Amino acid sequence: MKTFVKTAVAAAALAATGTLASATELRLSHQWSNQDVRHKVAQIVADEVAAADVDLDIKIFGSKSLFKPREQYTPLSRGQLDMAVLPLSYAGGQQPAYNLTLMPGLVKNHDHAARLSESPFMEALEAKMAEDDVIVLVHGYLAGGFAGKDKCLTKPEDVDGLQMRAAGKAFEQMLAGAGASIASMASSEIYNAMQTGVLDAANTSSSSFVSYRIYEQVACYTPAGDIALWFMYQPLLMNKTTFEGLTEAQQNALLEASKKAEAFYLEEAKKQDAASVEVFSDAGVEIAKMSPEDFEAWRTLAKETSYKAFVEEVPDGQALLDMALAVE
């Protein structure tokens, strides 16, 4: 009898909303292993929603098992995918403004990153996401550094002549300006590219350096520390129409779960950098340090390359850049 009643209620909900299939089970995609902090963020949301008992299940497809890393945003915006954790700059081809979320030297530290997430700058980006039928559930930035297969990288002249992987268009432009050749790929492909000689060096997040075991392929690691040139916005996103098709209880459960996940994300992001240093050191990898002078040399180069190109290519690029730079 109880089963019949549940079935009847479900049928009524389907008739009323037409979204039962997507509302009952949401599919969440990401590219990382289940040990990665970004998977843990997704898992917190899934677990908290399940505990809320609102007839909503989130099924996580990690390790790029559902979509290729750079191909997640389009199906998300079309409603073919419900949720995704991804670097927003991966969708810079669809929305060039997103390239500003991986701009060298723009973010000073993790607390500054959190302030950016609550600023008019982020509101402007979220308005662009809404145009693509996408919303943000969990904000999050991760810091990162450089790793060299044969030598240490701390200043622009160190990358001259190297074949490098850079995450995002802005870093590619800056590194090319320093004389590096660029090989574009997802962070999940760095290990194999280094192993086969395709790459001499790479930059990515501290978390990815560890979760993809890059320490097995490099001689030197320049981590994010007090000075971090590399910060990348990597939120948990959701299809807007799918969210709006949920019941109020389901929406509230998702939002409450997302608050917990975001707090966890920020604290874990701060720990990732130090943890990565320990892992690389234990693996026998040399640890290099970027000096304030090195940082300023990179930022000067970025202003001449990445910042300049962004403003020239994006119609409202200067306004967006100014909003980001205005956040203390």
What confidence tier does 187 reach under pLDDT thresholds 50, 70, 90?
confident
Q: Is the pLDDT of residue 35 over 70?
A: yes
Cβ 36 vs Cβ 64: under 8 Å: no
Q: Which residue has the tokens 């090195």?
A: 294
pLDDT score at 9: 40
Percent of the chain with pLDDT over 90: 81
**Which one, of 289, 326, 320, 321, lies nearest residue 127 by Cα?**
320
Q: Is the pLDDT of residue 284 over 80?
A: yes
Q: Which residue has the tokens 């492909």?
A: 189
pLDDT score at 17: 41
**Which one, of 211, 232, 269, lies nearest residue 33 by Cα?**
211
The CA-based diameter of the chain, rounded to the nearest angstrom, is 74
pLDDT score at 226: 80
Q: Is the pLDDT of residue 213 over 80?
A: yes
Percent of the chain with pLDDT over 70: 93
- The length of the chain in residues reads 328
Q: Is the pLDDT of residue 11 over 60?
A: no
What confidence tier does 205 reach under pLDDT thresholds 50, 70, 90?
confident
CA Rg value for the chain: 21
User: What is the phi/psi pair of residue 240, to 5°?
Assistant: -65, -45
Per DSSP, what are the bridge partners of residue 185?
none
Q: What is the mean pLDDT of residues 222-244?
A: 93
Cα gap 245→126, rounded to integer Å: 19
* 3-state SS, residue 194: helix
Which DSSP string do the residues of 73-138 spell out, in sequence order?
HHHHHTTSSSEEE--GGGGTTT-GGGGGGG-TTS--SHHHHHHHHTSHHHHHHHHHHHHTTEEEEE
